[in-house]
């Protein structure tokens, strides 16, 4: 059996490893147009902000590791088109030479593309995205240029907020824009985002939320300002971070698509063509909170979907258990984690939800090391099943969110959480634990 994997980043790598490590009869061919593989984009802001020493350890594998396992791997090679009827992939190397690769099974792991704001001035130099390693390098070079004093970030989602922090850590004057009225509006409710907004502002980031950017302006071909609805602001460097779209270029005329263009897949990652699988950011996921197909671009989903596809291609049936879109962020020491749906997201999706809030110290008052923790649990009014949770603190409260992820996945009700056995030790928490207290406070 020969499997061709198009795209050798997190999703493609997971599928290839699953096949190569578990199914010795498999012939695996990996093709990627980039010069590198396995770059952890989550490290870009840490590196640009000089919170880590270099970018070198942001790659967790390489071409040689796959060759050692028996795969054929082509980097700097684009798949230009696919003949789905005859099971042939047409490829072009960086030097222009072309070749074809036949397949029994094809895995599309072509990921996502950053959304490009189509604004006047978008061709000016000094406007970047932050998707690829190369773009991270470019942004880092500009940050090192002392003539770059003002940085404008468009989009206050995860990438935007993280790179705004990094730019501030590099001593820049930073302005952060979003059309939404707060930062991180897709992930958290306003009572949580208000604290992050205050955190950003208190560290000197000028927040322009609810203010649309309408144009980039430049001098001598280079960006020098951005014009937004309420004013024009200096900008020697602009970073666009307004979300991703699935990269469906190769299969959009042949495969069934979701509303945003992602390849529609079943729980085994199979597309509408029985010999084609799609994984990672180019494919849909099953949301347990929504009980529906949706799109969530995360490395975690990419890896899991690659494992699922690998086993199914290898001959072991494995169904995805769906996802909650669990996510987290840590900015100037303030940590926020969420899973499932916020009240706002649930309401937008047509779910009738209630929520319970609680705020307390992480540990008993007698402990020297302590900090406040905020928690919100979101649950469906009728069924009372938990559909989301948000937590925030300067403490590391990150592990708690995984329990809520499992609760959503398993359809646990808010009432079950009220008497859940949660241990107590002053080093970690309080006898009246904030999760228990929050659940007990539910209507
Ligand atoms: C700055 C940043 C920070 C992030 N932080 C986090 C985080 O903290 N946690 C988290 O879970 N997620 C994070 N993400 C999201 C995560 O990186 C993506 O969800 C993940 O990369 C998706 O993996 P993928 O393999 O599906 O797609 P991609 O990473 O997009 O890879 C797709 C691959 O396909 C190749 N390709 C595409 N078309 C072709 C073609 N025609 N021919 C050959 N090759 C092709 C591309 O070169 C690319 O290597 C972050 C993303 C960014 C940009
Ligand atoms: N910590 C993490 O887990 C992490 C870190 C980085 C990226 N990621 C993932 O990578 C993907 C891409 O990240 P992202 O930050 O680009 O997307 P995002 O969806 O997190 O945020 C995009 C933001 O852009 C805003 N926006 C949309 N159109 C706009 C416009 N025209 N002008 C101004 N603002 C606009 C939205 O309101 C939103 O706040 C996401 O799926 C994200 O979850 C995750």
Q: Do the domain assignments include residue 319? A: no
Cross-strand bridge partners of residue 196: none
E-assigned strands of 122-212? 127-128, 150-154, 173-178, 206-209
- 311 as an active site residue: the answer is no
In a domain, 90, yes or no: yes
- Are 101 and 137 part of one and the same domain? no
Which residue lies with its CA nearest to atom 26 of ligand 1? 280
Q: How many whole angstroms from 199 Cα to the centroid of ligand 2?
A: 19
Q: Is residue 241 within 6 Å of ligand 2 at its C-beta?
A: yes
CA distances from 385 to 118, 234, 406, 413, 432 (A): 41, 48, 12, 4, 23
Ligand 2 neighbour 111 (Cβ under 6 A)? no
As a whole number of angstroms, the distance between CA 254 and CA 337 comes to 38
Q: Does residue 131 lie within any of the structural domains?
A: yes
Residue at 410 is within a domain: yes
Using CA positions, which residue lies closest to atom 28 of ligand 1? Answer: 111
Separation between Cα atoms, residue 379 and residue 302, nearest integer Å: 27
* DSSP classification of residue 332: T
- Note the ipTM here: 0.98
Q: Are residues 237 and 250 in the same domain?
A: no
Pocket test for ligand 1, best of 32, 61, 265 (most atoms within 8 A of CB): 32
The DSSP output letter for 139 is H
Distance CA 433, CA 419 (A): 11
Single out the residue in 209, 242, 275 at which a domain terminates: 242
Q: Do residues 214 and 270 both lie within one domain?
A: no
Residue 320 lies in a domain: no
Mutating to test ligand 2, I would choose from 39, 40, 155 the residue with most ligand atoms within 8 A of its C-beta, which is: 155
Whether the Cβ atoms of residue 286 and residue 278 lie closer than 8 Å to each other: no
Flag whether 259 is in a domain.
Answer: yes
Spacing, Cα 158 to ligand 2 middle (Å) = 5
Task: Say if residue 160 is in the same domain as residue 70.
Answer: no
> Which CATH number fits the domain that encloses residue 139?
3.50.50.60
How remote is the CA of residue 97 from the centroid of ligand 2, in Å? 37
Q: Are residues 149 and 81 in the same domain?
A: no
Dihedral sign, Cα of residue 176, residue 182, residue 186, residue 191: positive
pLDDT in 10s for each residue of the chain, 443 residues: 999 999 999 999 999 999 999 999 999 999 999 999 999 999 999 999 999 998 999 999 999 999 999 999 999 999 999 999 999 999 999 999 999 999 999 999 999 999 998 899 999 999 999 999 999 999 999 999 999 999 999 999 999 999 999 999 999 999 999 999 999 999 999 999 999 999 999 999 999 999 999 999 999 999 999 999 999 999 999 999 999 999 999 999 999 999 999 999 999 999 999 999 999 999 999 999 999 999 999 999 999 999 999 999 999 999 999 999 999 999 999 999 999 999 999 999 999 999 999 999 999 999 999 999 999 999 999 999 999 999 999 999 999 999 999 999 999 999 999 999 999 999 999 999 999 999 999 99
The verdict on 413 and 376 lying in the same domain is yes
**Considering 242, 269, 286, which residue would you say is the last residue of a domain?**
242
Q: Among the atoms of ligand 2, which is closest to the Cα of residue 329? A: 1
Judgement on whether residues 103 and 196 belong to the same structural domain of the protein = no
Examine residue 328 and state whether it is found in any structural domain, yes or no.
Answer: no
Are residues 256 and 149 both part of a single domain?
no
Q: Report the first-to-last Cα separation within the chain, whole angstroms.
A: 56
Q: Classify residue 42 by its DSSP letter.
A: G
Residues 121 and 203 in one domain: yes
Is residue 132 located within the same domain as residue 194? Answer: yes
In terms of domains, do 302 and 356 share one?
no
CB 271, CB 263: distance < 8 Å: yes
In the prediction, which pLDDT does 136 show? 96
**In whole angstroms, how large is the CA radius of gyration of the chain?**
23
Helix (H, G, I), strand (E, B) or coil at 246: strand
Instruction: Measure Cα distances from 124 to 119, 160, 200, 219, 237 in Å.
Output: 11, 20, 28, 9, 10
Give the ligand with the smallest distance to the CA of 295: 2
Ligand 1 mean position to 13 CA, how many Å? Answer: 11
Q: What CATH number is attached to the domain comprising 404?
A: 3.30.390.30
Q: Is the CB of 329 under 6 A from ligand 2?
A: yes
Which residue CA neighbors atom 26 of ligand 2 most closely?
A: 242
Indicate the number of domains in the chain: 3
411 lines ligand 2 (CB under 6 A): no
Is residue 396 situated within a structural domain? yes
Range of the domain at 58: 2-112+245-314
What is the pairing mode between strands 77-83 and 72-74?
unpaired
Of 205, 221, 242, which closes a domain?
A: 242
10 in catalytic set: yes
Global pTM value: 0.97
87: helix, coil or strand?
coil
Q: Which ligand minimizes its atom distance to the CA of 262? A: 1
Same domain, 403 and 376: yes
Cβ(154) – ligand 2 distance below 6 Å: yes
């Amino acid at each position: 059996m020969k499997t061709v994997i198009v795209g050798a980043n997190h999703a493609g790598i997971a599928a290839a490893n699953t096949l190569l490590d578990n199914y010795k009869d498999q012939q695996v061919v990996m093709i990627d147009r980039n010069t590198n593989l396995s770059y952890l984009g989550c490290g870009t802001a840490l590196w640009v902000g000089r919170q880590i020493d270099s970018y070198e350890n942001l790659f967790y594998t390489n071409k040689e590791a796959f060759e050692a396992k028996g795969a054929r791997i082509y980097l700097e090679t684009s798949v230009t088109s696919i003949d789905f009827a005859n099971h042939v992939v047409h490829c072009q190397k960086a030097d222009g030479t072309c070749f074809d690769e036949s397949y029994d099974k094809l895995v599309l792991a072509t990921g996502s593309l950053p959304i490009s704001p189509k604004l006047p001035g978008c061709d000016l130099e000094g406007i970047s995205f932050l998707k690829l390693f190369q773009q991270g390098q470019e942004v880092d070079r500009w940050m090192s240029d002392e003539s770059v004093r003002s940085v404008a970030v468009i989009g206050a989602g995860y990438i935007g907020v993280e790179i705004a922090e990094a730019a501030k850590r590099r001593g820049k004057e930073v302005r952060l824009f979003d059309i939404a009225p707060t930062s991180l509006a897709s992930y958290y409710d306003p009572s949580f985002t208000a604290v992050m907004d205050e955190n950003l502002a208190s560290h000197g980031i000028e927040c322009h939320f609810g203010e649309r950017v309408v144009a980039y302006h430049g001098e001598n071909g280079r960006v020098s300002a951005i014009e937004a609805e309420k004013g024009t602001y200096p900008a020697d460097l602009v970073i666009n971070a307004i979300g991703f779209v699935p990269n469906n270029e190769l299969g959009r005329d042949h495969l069934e698509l979701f509303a945003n263009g992602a390849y529609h897949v079943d729980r085994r990652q199979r597309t509408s063509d029985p010999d084609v699988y799609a994984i990672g950011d180019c494919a849909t996921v099953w949301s347990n909170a929504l009980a529906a197909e949706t799109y969530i671009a995360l490395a975690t989903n990419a890896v899991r979907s690659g494992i699922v596809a690998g086993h199914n291609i290898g001959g072991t049936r494995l169904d995805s258990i769906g996802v909650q879109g669990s996510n987290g962020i840590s900015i100037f020491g303030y940590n926020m984690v969420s899973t499932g749906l916020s009240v706002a997201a649930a309401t937008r999706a047509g779910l009738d939800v209630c929520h319970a809030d609680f705020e307390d110290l992480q540990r008993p008052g007698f402990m020297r090391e302590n900090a406040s923790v905020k928690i919100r649990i979101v649950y469906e009014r009728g069924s009372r099943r938990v559909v989301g949770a948000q937590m925030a603190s300067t403490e590391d409260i990150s592990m708690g969110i995984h329990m809520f992820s499992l609760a959503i996945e398993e359809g646990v009700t808010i009432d079950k959480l009220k008497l859940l056995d949660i241990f107590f030790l002053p080093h970690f928490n309080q006898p009246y634990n904030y999760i228990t207290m929050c659940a007990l406070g539910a209507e």
